[in-house]
Structure 1
Amino acid sequence: MKKSWGWAGLIALVLCLSVTFLAGCAKKSALKETALVSPESRPAAKASPAPSKSTDDAAAREKARRDQALREQALREAAAREAAERGKKEAAARATAIMKELQIPDINFDYDKYNLTPLAQSILKAASPAFVKYPAYKLVVEGHCDERGTGEYNLALGEKRAEEAAKYLVDLGIGKERIKTISYGNEMPLDKGHDEAAWAKNRRARFVIFPPVK
């Protein structure tokens, strides 16, 4: 019985060694085959496609178009600013020219009188066409007196002088609603002297022009 188990054990041991040997050979063969596979035979990873030349050209054209549009817009804006500035300067120059055209020299009166002298009438006649031409402009006529007489008397006399000048301008075609009058009596002398030459200058009507309100 012991002899029978001895042979059986020996046979089993041989079989186990054979199986182990064969398994090891198979594993080595698989590893060898794996090692023998060439890198070139492996499938290459897919690379991202490079941008085509046509795509680059289209992008460049679009950028150039946008840049050109921005340049043109900047030029238009600059031209508009220049035109606006030029318009302001032209308007200011025109307003200055009109004000100069509308200026009326002072007219003078005889002592204690308010009627217009021939010289005063000729001055107002020469000035009236400009006021007819520019109806939006208004006028204040100031009446002044010399220092002789009471303050109350001179205020009344100055008012009569201003009203007489205003009435004459209305008769020349200037709308009455465009003219106002005010008297300063002897409160605002043009010449502060105390002789006939100074008094003659101070007996006057002064004309103040007002441009249209914007």
Structure 2
Amino acid sequence: MASRGGSTRGRRVTGASDPQQQRRESGPQTDKGQQRRDQLLEAAHTVFERKGFVDARVADIVAEARVAQGTFYSYFDSKDTIFREVCEIVVERMMADVAAATVVPREASMRERIRAGLRGYIEVYRENARMIALMEQVGTFTPEMRETRLHVREAWLAQLERVLKRQQADGIADPTLDPFMTVQVLGAMADHTCYVWLSLGKPFEEEDVLESLTTVWARTIGVDDSTSWRTAAGTAPA
């Protein structure tokens, strides 16, 4: 789970004169330093998944990474800081993996495309269910953690909003919908259904979940029943 060189994610800019804090804010200056930082992020991911956020300690992370405790504080100022960055990296990876998992034939219908996108999301959610559950849990602790939870959620929703706007411009989706609120509601539907199912353990059948999510999504944006919005917009049904 390598972070990008020079990234400022998860680093608190304080303007303090503390040399160690300045090193954290400026980021690793060498390839070896970047590798060490990535090593700590990988170790933190492993520890958080194994022990949860509350029970995980910085000592556990440095033990997993096989580095001295002082090395940790050269790159991160707290457990909270490294957790926030791990969460952002997980979500970035999830978004890339969802795109890679969504393979759709060119001749596929819009409903089939929606279904493929949701199937890809379910597959990736399943692989990351433990970390997603931790984000939900930790998001209740402090304003900073709630902000992190909202931030990682918005990254996915912003992508969905761009897709819906393109579909509206192409005459595929209902142009009367508010793209922002529509994806907020549909995203919450998919996200919470997967949370109840894959994190809390509600015994849903995968095909039932996929079919229901696809139907609600398609009908909401007007793919399954476009006659009403096309007529209201003064456009003849296709």
**TM-score bracket, shorter-length normalisation:** under 0.3
Pick the structure with greater CA Rg: 1
Please give the TM-score of this superposition, normalised by the length of structure 1.
0.24
TM-score by length of 2: 0.22
Greater relative contact order (Cα 8 A, min sep 6): structure 1 or 2?
1
Instruction: Tell me which protein shows more strand as a share of its residues.
Output: 1
Flag the structure with higher helix content.
2
